[in-house]
């Protein structure tokens, strides 16, 4: 990569032009697409989408496993002038219904089993449904849309739904510029090149996962999407495809370092990246032991600003708990309660990676997206993260704590209220409080405190039918009455202390 990243944003579909024509761009389960093949598939899918959804700016949702559809849709939707809404394939029908309704999606593409799981009322009347294979078959015969998009880079490109500390998932609005410059930034500081091969194991429905593809393609490299069942699947894929770049979250790293890694799975590895939670000293040591020649990049980010900091691999051993410094195109300020830049306070992210707010949610947008502090060089709107950090004398940042009740488990950001609402809706709980309790492997384990019937088996069965696996409580504790604080509200702090 060049000595300084190019700050000029382009429409996202221009990423399809980054690689050499006959080189591999996307390795699917049954075939490998060259860059020429990638360009052709994107053009055909874009042409088909434009015919299906002619309204510019309309939302199209995908709810599917990693594959041709989910990998190509970010570029194809951008070329067709549409806004992509990727839905986590682990989500259940009620959550999918909320996302479809909230986004106003005009089209949902999913596999047959997922479509069959939806019930009456889950899909808005104005939203068409199409089975994944049928959509791809139709796209293959469609008139290709060869012309690159001429969209303003500040136009909306994608809506990524993420849980908040309260309420249902909210849609983070990302522009072409947000996603393009995020790809440029990461490819630059990771030092990626055209001969890199990235194993994309993270979900493509959130920013860290999508960037696996986009940063790799910006560098002209090859991406290998993988939905794995066991850690051994990841290791086998690394050996089979000569993987050079592997991104994961701490719970997956814990699983991976407990396995035997053959030499052919290790020898090509150039870099490891981590986000979604901090690495422990022991985990860093184990990764060093298995991958002695790979560079390790701890990173911190939030969907509202994509990525904020990374720690230079050369500093990891001496500063294993640091969040590092700002990534390219990010300005990170530490602001105290008086709005002054200080050595300790709230992390505030400024610059062109800041998202456009929450879709049709001005109240929550105003809570998180506020004018940048006066000290900002970028100005404009900034993301006030809610994370308290400390900046050391050498400029390195360290995480201190968080003000809200967000649960971060197995790399997922989970809204307590979302779990609580589902528990109460079962009719088995009159009141419910979900808490994150520190857990060595998960980051947080979910504890659910419930006042109600006492029928734990029935409650757990109901939760399994409505919530994905990563939102299932590790512990359910029944109480006769919830403790109250002086204001008459449930005393969550006391419940958290009891759970811990």
pLDDT at 17 over 50: yes
Does residue 421 share a domain with residue 349?
no
Question: In which element (H, E) is residue 271 found?
Answer: strand 271-274
Say if 2 falls within a structural domain. Answer: no
- Per-residue pLDDT, 404: 67
pLDDT in tens, 63-73: 999 999 999 99
CATH code for the domain of 485: 3.30.300.30
Per the structure, the complete domain to which residue 456 belongs is given by 407-499
pLDDT at 163 over 70: no
pLDDT in tens, 272-306: 999 987 888 888 999 999 999 999 999 999 999 99
CA dist., res. 91 & res. 110, Å (int)? 12
Does residue 461 share a domain with residue 367?
no
Average pLDDT estimate for 39-43: 98
Average pLDDT estimate for 402-419: 81
CA dist., res. 339 & res. 200, Å (int)? 40
Could you tell me where the DSSP H helices lie in 128-175?
132-140
- Helix 68-79 / helix 35-52 crossing angle, nearest 10 deg: 70
Average pLDDT estimate for 448-477: 95
CA dist., res. 66 & res. 229, Å (int)? 13
- The pTM assigned to this predicted structure is 0.88
Does residue 182 share a domain with residue 65?
yes
- Per-residue pLDDT, 500: 82
CA dist., res. 500 & res. 497, Å (int)? 5
- Per-residue pLDDT, 413: 80
CA dist., res. 174 & res. 84, Å (int)? 10
- Per-residue pLDDT, 165: 47
Q: Retrieve residue 194's tokens.
A: 């055209």
Average pLDDT estimate for 36-48: 98
User: Parallel, antiparallel, or unpaired: how do β-strands 83-86 and 59-63 relate?
Assistant: parallel
CATH code for the domain of 49: 3.40.50.12780
pLDDT at 317 over 70: yes
CA dist., res. 22 & res. 136, Å (int)? 22
Residue length of the chain: 500
Q: Retrieve residue 85's tokens.
A: 């809404």
Tell me what percent of the chain is helix, strand and coil, each rounded to the nearest 5.
35, 25, 40
More confident residue, 341 or 168: 341
Does residue 472 share a domain with residue 348?
no
Could you tell me where the DSSP H helices lie in 242-290?
250-257, 263-266, 281-290
Kindly report the average pLDDT of the chain as a whole number.
94
Among the three residues 359, 391, 423, which one is the final residue of a domain in this structure? 391
Report how many domains make up the chain. 2
Does residue 383 share a domain with residue 485?
no
Among the three residues 352, 367, 391, which one is the final residue of a domain in this structure? 391
Output 259-264 pairs: Cβ under 8 A, ≥24 positions apart: 259/231, 259/232, 259/235, 261/235, 261/290, 262/235, 264/239
């Amino acid at each position: 990569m060049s000595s300084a990243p190019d700050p000029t944003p382009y429409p996202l579909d221009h990423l399809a032009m980054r690689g050499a024509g006959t080189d591999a761009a996307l390795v699917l389960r049954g075939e490998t697409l060259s860059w020429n093949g990638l360009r052709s598939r994107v053009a055909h899918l874009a042409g088909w989408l434009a015919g299906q959804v002619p309204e510019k700016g309309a939302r199209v949702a995908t709810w599917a496993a990693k594959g041709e559809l989910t990998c190509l849709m970010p570029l194809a939707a951008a070329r067709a002038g549409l806004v992509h809404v990727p839905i986590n394939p682990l989500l259940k029908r009620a959550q999918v219904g909320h996302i479809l309704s909230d986004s106003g999606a005009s089209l949902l593409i999913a596999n047959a089993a997922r479509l069959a799981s939806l019930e009456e009322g889950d899909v808005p009347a104005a939203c068409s449904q199409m089975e994944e294979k049928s959509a791809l078959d139709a796209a293959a015969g469609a008139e290709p849309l060869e012309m690159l998009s001429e969209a303003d880079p500040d136009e909306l490109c994608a809506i990524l739904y993420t849980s908040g500390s309260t309420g249902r998932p909210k849609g983070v609005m990302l522009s072409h510029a947000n996603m393009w410059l995020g790809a440029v930034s990461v490819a630059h500081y990771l030092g990626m090149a055209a001969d890199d091969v990235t194993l994309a194991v993270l979900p493509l429905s959130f920013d860290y996962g999508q960037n696996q593809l986009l940063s790799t393609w910006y560098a002209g490299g090859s991406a290998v999407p993988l939905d794995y069942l066991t850690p051994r699947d990841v290791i086998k894929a690394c050996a089979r495809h000569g993987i050079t770049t592997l991104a994961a979250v701490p719970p997956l790293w814990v699983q991976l370092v407990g396995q035997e890694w053959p030499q052919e799975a290790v020898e090509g590895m150039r870099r490891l990246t981590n986000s979604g939670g901090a690495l422990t000293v022991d985990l860093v040591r184990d990764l060093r032991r298995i991958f002695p020649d790979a560079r390790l990049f701890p990173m911190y980010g939030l969907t509202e600003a994509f990525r904020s900091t990374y720690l230079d691999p050369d500093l990891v051993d001496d500063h294993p708990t640091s969040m590092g410094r700002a990534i390219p195109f990010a300005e990170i300020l530490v602001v105290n309660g008086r709005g002054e830049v200080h050595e300790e306070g709230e992390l505030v992210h400024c610059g062109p990676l800041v998202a456009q707010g929450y879709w049709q949610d001005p109240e929550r947008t105003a809570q998180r997206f506020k004018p940048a502090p006066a000290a900002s060089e970028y100005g404009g709107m900034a993301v006030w993260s809610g994370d308290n950090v400390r900046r050391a004398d050498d400029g390195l940042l360290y995480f201190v704590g968080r003000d809200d009740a967000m649960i971060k488990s197995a790399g997922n950001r989970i809204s307590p209220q979302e779990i609580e609402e589902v528990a109460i809706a079962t009719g088995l709980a009159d009141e419910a409080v979900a808490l994150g309790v520190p857990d060595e492997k998960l980051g947080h384990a979910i504890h659910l405190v419930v006042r109600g019937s006492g029928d734990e088996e029935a409650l757990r069965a109901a939760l399994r039918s409505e919530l994905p696996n990563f939102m299932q409580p590790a512990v359910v504790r029944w109480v006769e009455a919830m403790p109250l604080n002086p204001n008459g509200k449930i005393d969550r702090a006391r419940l958290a202390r009891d759970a811990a």
